[in-house]
Amino acid sequence: MKILGRHLIVEYADCDCILLNDIDFLEQQMNESVRVSGATIVSSKFHRYNPQGVSGVIVIAESHLSIHTWPEYGYAAVDFFTCGEEVDPYKAFEYMKKMLKSQNATVKELNRGIPSDRDEVIAHKPSATQSI
């Protein structure tokens, strides 16, 4: 694979249920996790469901982060998808684990990119003269 980015798929369990339903807290902390990771925020959009739960996405210059919460289960599903070698999605993962007070978290990392016979990391923003 010609690797363009890393995608962390995260399950946060045994979280603080009140925090998982607080849209302002979640948006603030997810945006801070972007800064902690070294990424650049482009746009942020969050929505609170009735009677509970929040979904949100942050578009970053390097891809996106998203969160979906189920306060009734103390659970949040979070994606940290980053491109380039300047951003560390694991810093965002650890930051959100602490902020959500998750007692049980799992993370799976997937490489994202162009199918190829061999693995290699390629620039996610090649110059106009550079070919892939």
Categorise residue 58: left if φ over 0, alpha if ψ from -120 to 50, beta otherwise: beta
Is 26:99 a contact under the CB 8 Å cutoff? no
> Phi first, then psi: what are they for 91, rounded to 5°?
-65, -40
Report residue 128: phi and psi, to 5°.
-60, -25
Q: Where are the alpha helices (DSSP H) in the chain?
A: 23-37, 89-99
The tokens of 83 are what?
A: 């491109």
The set of catalytic residues is 63, 68, 83
Residue type, 61: A
